[in-house]
Amino acid sequence: MESNSIGYVNAPIPKEVDLKAEINRMRKEKNAIILSHYYQTGAIQDIADFVGDSLALAQWATKTKADIIVLCGVHFMGETAKILSPDKKVLVPDLNAGCSLADSCPAPEFEAFVKAHPGHTVISYVNTTAAVKAVTDIVVTSTNAKQIVESLPKDEKIIFGPDRNLGNYINSITGRNMLLWDGACHVHELFSLEKILELKKQYPEAELIAHPECKQPILTIADFVGSTAALIKHTTQSAKKQFIVATESGVIHDMRKKSPDKEFIPAPPNDSTCACNECNFMRLNTMEKLYNCLKFELPEIHVDENVRKKAVRPILKMLEISEKLGL
Ligand code: 13P
Ligand code: SF4
């Protein structure tokens, strides 16, 4: 069975197959672990061995003793797991699960940008291809970006890519003047300030919480800004009972599980009639594709060994600093 050019296995699944039971049976039989990002569907989050943000998924990829890692997330997450665990088989249910932010930073252009600005430490967000990581000094995620930037001397010249919103936000809270790559995530850039302001009027008691990939005007009016994991933690700790959530709406599944007595209102995007904002790439993974992926052990992530050897260094550096900082 091939995943071929369509990027996933589309073998027909008989109606009588109990997907959950079969996925559970196969993962035991194959010594496979299912890792899920918080932006996956509720069904995938519920069946995963572990649900986490980008940092936690990378940390798990180094820890697991499984022979197979099924990464239910987007391509760069599978690639990061493969870079860290080259001897394991790393599968992603649908290889078409890309990332507009990673796509906004093609490796040849980024490398030219780095060469045009010598003497800079290169910090890249984990939402990048292996080839971009290969020309990076330290990888960061939204959970550790501030602390990692602050761990460098105050006068260190830094290039930060690819997310201009996260970069601007880190500059504003650290007082640094990092040189920014001009990239962005289409999901987080799409939130409508106008509609959010209307929601704030409608829910005056609600806290507005936002991911730092959102545009600056939204971050300015947010009551709390943080990574996926930080937003979830905040909703469990805050005394507030209502939250307007300006990030991919998949996180609300976990927020509701952790705080069933609280209300979560997804922040709306500006260009549709839809009330919430989903990452179309993340949502390409389905329970059916997960089932076929485990059954046929396809599609698999491969990383060129020369690129991998260069890309692993900045990721390990991030994991090392994060461990020291207790993140
Ligand atoms: P985190 O998981 O680091 O919060 O990143 C959010 C994101 O956009 C993942 O693609
Ligand atoms: Fe990429 Fe944005 Fe989707 Fe995250 S939400 S995977 S940054 S496109």
302-317 pLDDT, tens per residue?
999 999 999 999 999 9
DSSP-derived secondary structure letter, 300: B
Report yes or no: 317 and 137 within 8 Å, Cβ to Cβ: yes
Q: How many CB atoms lie within 10 A of CB 25?
A: 12
Closest CA to 76 of 147, 124, 4: 124
Ligand 1 midpoint to CA 204 (Å): 28
Closest CA to 53 of 26, 33, 80, 86: 80
Angle at 34 between CA 31 and CA 36, to 5 degrees: 165
Ligand 1 midpoint to CA 18 (Å): 31
Mean pLDDT of 289-301: 98
How confident is the model over 41-97, as pLDDT tens digits? 999 999 999 999 999 999 999 999 999 999 999 999 999 999 999 999 999 999 999
Closest CA to 93 of 142, 53, 50, 37: 37
Does ligand 2 come within 6 angstroms of the Cβ of 56? no
In the three-class reduction of DSSP (H, G, I as helix; E, B as strand; rest coil), residue 138 is classed as strand
Report yes or no: 192 and 269 within 8 Å, Cβ to Cβ: yes
Mean pLDDT score across all residues of the chain? 95
pLDDT of residue 273: 57
Residue 1: pLDDT band (50, 70, 90) is low
Residue 270: pLDDT band (50, 70, 90) is confident
Ligand 2 midpoint to CA 25 (Å): 31
In the three-class reduction of DSSP (H, G, I as helix; E, B as strand; rest coil), residue 133 is classed as helix
Q: Which ligand is closest to the CA of 277, given by its number?
A: 2
Predicted TM-score (pTM) of the model is 0.95
Ligand 2 midpoint to CA 277 (Å): 11
Mean pLDDT of 110-130: 98
Q: Return d(Cα 15, Cα 293) in angstroms, integer.
A: 17
Residue 271: pLDDT band (50, 70, 90) is confident
Which residue's CA lies nearest to atom 1 of ligand 2?
99
Closest CA to 81 of 33, 125, 18, 146: 33
Ligand 1 nearest atom to the CA of residue 54, by list position: 2
- Per DSSP bridges, beta strands 207-210 and 224-225 are parallel
pLDDT of residue 5: 74
pLDDT of residue 30: 98
Q: How many CB atoms lie within 10 A of CB 76?
A: 27
Q: Which two tokens stand for residue 260?
A: 């069933």
Q: Which amino acid is at 272?
A: S
